[in-house]
Amino acid sequence: MFDFSVVTNWVHGWLMSLMPEGLAILVECILIGLGVLVLYAVIAMMMIFMERKVCGAFQCRLGPNRVGPWGVFQLFADVIKMLIKEVIAIRHSDRFLYNLAPYVVILGSVLAFACIPFNKGVEVLDFNVGVFFFMAASSIGIVGILLAGWSSNNKYSLIGAMRSGAQMISYELSVGLSILTIVVLTDTMQFSEIVERQADGWFIFKGHIPALIAFIIYLIAGNAEVNRGPFDLPEAESELTAGYHTEYSGMHFGLFYVAEFVNLFIVSSIAATVFLGGWMPLHVPGWDGFNQVMDYIPGFIWFFAKAFFVVWLLMWIKWTFPRLRIDQILHLEWKILVPIGLANLLLMTVCVVFGWHF
């Protein structure tokens, strides 16, 4: 397996030979920040393009196809359009909170984004409580959404933000419980360790039945937590115009939009990391030749293939099912997913403690 820490160590050594230690670390921090910034923006643009194309395919349309081959320059056109729209400040809003909200939303999204292990040695925040930190970081976004809804002084925004808050905090529980199931299996909370433990088979295969149930719960709850798919009623355009970002225009709105798409990618890549092995190639115990061949494919290709597969799955769900009502959403979470999640956690614990395999 290609270990990216070779590259980072080489860069570190090279910078240390050029300049004093403090300056070298400063330059490294700036490089890491710029790298994350560029990756974040590129993934957001790719996601927006993919959404358009996949949506087109599911609705038997072509999607964007005029600007460049297969419409690939559409993504640049989208960014330029977003940039040259006027940023309107509305009169009766709470100006400070109104301007603060995009910062909070992007902050939660970037912190969660930094937890993802893209390859062996490519994870910015590799804490030993990684899963826990990820849960905490991804819930910062809710505060931003509530701020946006409240500060706009608009009834649509307020109702949208309240719905969004209720939905996101509810489904965060199921996300937590399903990841907890895997933490019980691995006895570690570090994402890089979780990936390493899947060297002899991904958890979806070797995690028995509880891992499979947890994966399905995670997909449903993750989809609801990013306000997408059949759970997108915080921004149900037929009832609430645009939900919590009704009053935001131009780039202000663009930031919410970008955060939403990157959050979809984050949810998918955590699903890929925790259940589908992250950057770990497909290994079958005993098939040494097969495993050797699979190791030739670099880890980041495995990671992005799995992450975009899950993204595609969630887009498929989004464009297939009609939108739910708020009481149906809360019913699904509290009366179905939470009890199943708790029972599943106990089942996994029993499996782990008694060493059962089925």
Alpha helices for the chain (secondary structure H): 5-18, 21-58, 74-83, 95-113, 130-138, 140-151, 155-186, 191-196, 203-206, 208-225, 237-240, 250-274, 288-295, 299-318, 326-331, 338-354
Does 114 sit near another protein (CB under 8 A)? yes
Q: What's the rounded Cα separation, in Å, for the pair 240 and 259? A: 20
For another protein, which is the closer residue by CB, 140 or 313?
140
Among 59, 69, 187, 289, binds another protein (CB under 8 A): 187
Q: How many beta carbons lie within 10 A of that of residue 209, not counting itself? A: 12
For the chain, the straight-line distance linking the first and the last C-alpha, in angstroms and rounded, comes to 31
Among 157, 192, 227, 344, binds another protein (CB under 8 A): 157
| Closer residue to another protein in complex, CB, 54/224 | 224
Helix (H, G, I), strand (E, B) or coil at 119: strand
What lies within 8 Å, CB to CB, of 11 at 6+ separation is 28, 31
Choice between 240 and 314, CB closer to another protein: 240
Closest contact distance (angstroms) between CB of 153 and another protein is 5
Residue from 21, 60, 86, 238 in contact with another protein (CB under 8 A): 86
Q: Footprint of another protein on residues 259-318 (CB under 8 A)?
A: none
202-241: which residues touch another protein (CB under 8 A)?
241
Q: Counting contacts by CB under 8 A, is residue 37 touching another protein?
A: yes
Closest CA to 240 of 152, 154, 156, 147: 156
Contact between 55 and another protein by CB under 8 A: the answer reads no
Q: Cβ(167)–Cβ(230) under 8 Å?
A: no
Q: Minimal distance in Å, beta carbon 75 to another protein?
A: 16
Q: Least distance in Å: CB of 286 to another protein?
A: 25
Binding track, positions 166-185, relative to another protein; x by CB under 8 A: x--xx-xx--xx--x--xx-
Query: In the beta sheet, which residues pair with residue 119?
Result: 122
Told to check if 246 binds another protein by CB under 8 A, we report yes
Min CB(328)–another protein separation in Å: 9
Residue whose C-alpha is closest to residue 161's, from 118, 101, 221, 81:
101
CB-count burial class (<10 Å; 0-12, 13-18, 19+) for 224:
buried
Quote the least distance from Cβ 144 to another protein, whole Å: 11
Q: How far is the CB of 1 from another protein (least distance, A)?
A: 23
Closer to another protein by Cβ: residue 177 or 264 = 177
Pick the piece of the chain touching another protein (CB under 8 A) from 53-61, 196-204, 301-309, 330-338: 330-338
Among 77, 153, 199, 319, binds another protein (CB under 8 A): 153
Residue 91 structure tokens: 């009169």
Q: Which two tokens stand for residue 325?
A: 């009502």
Told to check if 126 binds another protein by CB under 8 A, we report yes
247 binds another protein (CB under 8 A): yes
CB of 290 to another protein, least distance (A): 30
Torsion of CA 331, 332, 333, 335, to 10 degrees: 60
Piece of 2-10, 15-23, 201-209, 322-330 that binds another protein (CB under 8 A): 322-330
Q: How far is the CB of 117 from another protein (least distance, A)?
A: 14
Give the integer Cα–Cα distance in Å for 14 and 201.
Answer: 37
